[in-house]
Every structure is written in structure tokens, then in C-alpha cells.
Amino acid sequence: MMLVDLDYFFAQLEELRNSALKGKPVVIGMYSGRTAESGAVSTANYEARKYGVKSGMPLFLAKRKLEGCDAIFLPVDYDYYEQVSDRLMGIFRTYSDVFEQVGIDEAYMDVTVKVHGSFEEAKVLVLRMKADVKTQVGVTFSVGVAPNKLVAKVACDVQKTDGLTVVQPDEMQGFLSPLPIDRLLGVGKKTSARMAELGVKTIGDLARFDVQHLVDIFGKTLGVYFHDAANGVDESAVKEAGEAESISRIATLKRNSRDLAFIAEMTDVLAADVHADLLKRNVGFKQIGVIAFLADITVKSRSLTLEQSTKSIEILKKTARELLQRLLEDTDKDVRRIGVKISVFSREEKTQKLLESFFGD
Ligand code: DCP
Ligand code: CA
Ligand code: CA
């Protein structure tokens, strides 16, 4: 398994289209627009990081740290970054058996079959891919190669830029053990502080810590996750994105009808049912569909994909009504049964959710 992550992504892409920036500190800012100065640092190149500039820092602070350094401040240009990201992901994908993009500049790749299970061959594949991306796009990225996703992620972060870190099965413990626990996915400042109170500072400390004790403190899911993670245990598979699951409800109307208001009463009820299920699973939806079984036994459906995933019941009901209206405009038959369906994304894993809610990390 491997994780690829582009180096100082937004800033590197600004350097890519304007080579005059190279060698200077470059800061990409998300300007809030309230005043010319207000906003936060999205990212910075490594020249700027030498002065202590970091993602998330207020822009005025970054300006202060870089005073007199001939630093360049640029606003985010998300459309451009996304365009290049799509090209990069397209290239990475061709080197994978299974490919899972997890952010604008990051993806997991399962290459087990391609490299015949050999870490040596994986290394060769990464070097080929680095050269390919360098010529085709002109950017660098760092890679972690390991027996599983969890360790690949940690490995990717230890050496940047243009890094390649390979951790073989027999090296896992020695690799993880001395690292601070915040290198583990989901362990941020607050979790680290809580762990430090328990005398747990390194991943090795955490690996040796009594699992039952962790469960008592953090609950079963997280306690077991921390224990496994520290021991380099992760069984999760690389999953192709966009494998949407759906939730749907269908009901028969009290009478056949093509009266919008009457049928919409039913789609509202179905939407509420679907929504309750959605909340239970704690996921969002992006696609809504309405299906009608007509009196002449034909079936018609309409669907819509939203710009952004949401959990809103209002949007669900309103969109279902609109789809129903469009559907009725395209037929002169009565509706006998009606259904509402949404596509949900199961990518959000339980542990990830819990980690976010537990400490806000
Ligand atoms: N980003 C952001 N705000 C943050 C963190 C990140 O806008 N708080 C954006 C800008 C980054 C991009 O996401 O370029 C990718 O984030 P990374 O965490 O991978 O950071 P970088 O790619 O910038 O740097 P690194 O070289 O450490 O990977
Ligand atoms: Ca990155
Ligand atoms: Ca990233």
C-alpha cells in the first residue's frame, strides 16, 4: 500500500506557473475579505516555513514573520489547483491496482499486484512515477510505502519534499516506536495532551499501554483504534471513491393520482423516513432521485446531483418535490406508487467521525 501526497501543494502550483517565485518565500492566503489583511494561511512553501509560517496561521502573523524577506503573498485559486490535481490523480491512477483519492493533493494506492508483492519493485514503481509526473506536470510529491494504509500515511510524512519512505513488515515496530503519537492519523493536539498526562508520548509508549485502560478512557472504538494504530495494525482496504450506497423508500398512494400536492405529501413522508436513516448512519447525501410507478405499469424516474453533499431535510424535501413536478410534466398517466432515493457516501468511517467529535482534533 502507499500514500502519495504533493509537496506544499497550492504554493508549488503557484511556482509552477510562475517560476520567478522559486527561491522566495511564498504564502497562499485565504482572504476573508473583511479587511485587506484578514484571513488565514492556506499553505506556504518551504522557504516561508523556515520563518515559522504554517497552514491555518493568521495572515497578519505570517506577514510579520516574513517582514523584509521579499515574500510573495497570493490568494488561493482553487479552480486552477483542482484542474492540476485532476491531471495528477489521473497519472497516479494508472500506476495503481486500486486507487483512492482522499484530498485535493493526496491518494492511497494499492499496488500489490503491480509490484508482485515486492517492496523493491514498489520502490522502482515510485521512482518511475516521480519521473513521469516531473515531465508531464512538473511537480514533486512524497510517498510512503508500507504493508498497510495507516503506516503508509505515517511514512509519507517523515520525509518531505520529494520523499520516498519504505517501511517493510519487519521494520514497522522499529519505525513507529520512537515517533511522537501525533504522527498517527487522528491524533492531534488535544488527544496528545490527554495522552501526555498518562505518560504516553511516543507511539512506542502507546503500543505498550494497556488496551483495557485505553478503552476505559476513550471508549471501545477509539481505545482499540489507538492500540492497533500504535502497533501498526490496520486492515482497511484501499477503496475506489464514489462508491455510493443508497437509501430509499417506496410507498403505494391511497389512490392513483397525478395531483402534485397530493403526491408531494407522500414524498415528504418518504423523505423524512430516508432522512432518519441518514442521520442514524451519520453521512451526507449528494444525489436525490424520485421514482414513479405509473398506472400503465411503466416506470419513470428523475434525479439530481447537488453541488455539495448535505444532511438537510429541507433540501431533500424541496428537491424531491421539484423532481416530482418535472416527472409529472413528462407524463399524462396517473402515479400508483412513488419512491424517494438518496445516494450516500460511506467513506466517512466510524473511527474518523469519532476522532473528530471526541477532541475536535
Ligand atoms: N490547506 C489549506 N488549509 C489548511 C491545510 C491545507 O487550505 N489548514 C490546503 C493547502 C495545501 C493543501 O490543502 O497546499 C494540501 O494540504 P497538505 O496538508 O498536504 O499541505 P501541503 O501540501 O501544503 O504541504 P506538505 O508539503 O506538508 O504536504
Ligand atoms: Ca501535501
Ligand atoms: Ca495532503
Strands 26-31 and 39-44, by their bridges, are antiparallel
The C-alpha atoms of residue 335 and residue 323 are separated, in whole angstroms, by 14
- Residue 184's φ and ψ, nearest 5 degrees, are -80, 140
Q: Residue 210: CA atoms inside 13 Å, Cβ hemisphere, count?
A: 5
Mean pLDDT of 257-272: 97
CA of 35 to the centre of ligand 1 (A): 24
Choice between 132 and 286, residue whose per-residue pLDDT is larger: 132
Pocket test for ligand 1, best of 15, 32, 55 (most atoms within 8 A of CB): 55
Query: Which residues are CB-neighbours of 131 under 8 A, at least 6 positions away?
Result: none
Q: What pLDDT score does 348 carry? A: 46
Query: Which of 43, 46, 104 has the most ligand 1 atoms within 8 A of CB, as the residue to mutate?
Result: 43
pTM above 0.85, yes or no: no
The per-residue pLDDT for range 79-114, each reduced to its tens digit, is 999 999 999 999 999 999 999 998 899 999 999 999
Q: What percent of the chain has pLDDT over 70?
A: 94
Residue of minimum CA distance from atom 20 in ligand 1: 8
- Selecting among 82, 106, 197, 314, the annotated active-site residue is 106
Q: How far is the CA of 107 from the centre of ligand 3 (A)?
A: 8
The CA 113 to ligand 1 mean position distance, Å, reads 30
Backbone angle region of 13, left / alpha / beta, with phi > 0 → left and psi within -120 to 50 → alpha: alpha
Instruction: Report the chain's mean pLDDT, rounded to a whole number.
Output: 92
- 360 vs 77, 183, 354, CA distance in Å? 28, 16, 9
Phi, psi of 178 (to 5 degrees): -80, -10
Give me the sheet containing 164-166, strands edge to edge. 98-103, 106-110, 2-6, 141-145, 164-166
> Which ligand approaches the C-alpha of residue 81 most closely?
1
Ligand nearest to C-alpha 153: 3
Give the count of beta carbons closer than 10 Å to the beta carbon of residue 38: 14
Please give the grid coordinates belonging to residue 345: 457516501
Give the closest residue (by CA) to ligand 1 atom 28.
7
Nearest CA to ligand 1 atom 1: 42
Tell me if residue 265 falls in helix, strand or coil.
helix
For residue 160, the ligand 1 atom closest to its alpha carbon is 26
Residues 6 or more apart from 262 whose CB is under 8 A from it?
A: 253
Kindly state the helix (H) or strand (E) to which residue 26 belongs, with its residue range. Answer: strand 26-31
Q: How far is the CA of 285 from the centre of ligand 3 (A)?
A: 24
Nearest atom in ligand 1 to 76's CA: 7
Count H helices, E strands: the chain?
A: 14, 12
Cβ burial of 316 (10 Å; 0-12, 13-18, 19+) is buried
Q: For position 32, what pLDDT does the model report? A: 82
Q: Whose CA is nearest to atom 9 of ligand 1?
A: 42
Burial readout 72-83 (b: 16 or more C-beta within 10 A, e: otherwise): bbeebeeeebee
The pLDDT value recorded for residue 136 is 98
* All three cell numbers of 53: 509560517
- In ligand 1, which atom is closest to the CA atom of 106? 19
User: How far is ligand 1, taken at its centre, from the CA of residue 45, in Å?
Assistant: 10
Predicted local confidence at residue 347, as pLDDT: 45
Asked if 106 is an active-site residue, the reply is yes
Query: In the structure, what pLDDT confidence band is assigned to residue 356 with cuts at 50, 70 and 90?
Result: low
Neighbour tally for 99: CB within 10 Å = 21
Task: Give the integer Cα–Cα distance in Å for 291 and 270.
Answer: 12
> In this predicted model, what pLDDT tens digit does every residue of 179-222 receive, in sequence order?
999 999 889 888 999 999 999 999 999 999 999 999 999 999 89
- 41 Cα to the center of ligand 2, angstroms: 14
pLDDT at 267 exceeding the cut of 80:
yes
Predicted local distance difference test score (pLDDT) of residue 359: 54
Residue nearest to atom 24 of ligand 1 (CA): 8
- Whether the pLDDT of residue 153 is over 60: the answer is yes
Banded pLDDT at 281 (limits 50, 70, 90)? confident
> Ligand 1 atom 21: the closest Cα is on which residue?
8
Beta-sheet strand order (sheet of 299-310): 244-257, 335-345, 285-294, 299-310
Higher pLDDT, residue 268 or 359:
268
Ligand located closest to 160 CA:
1
Which ligand lies nearest the alpha carbon of 55?
1
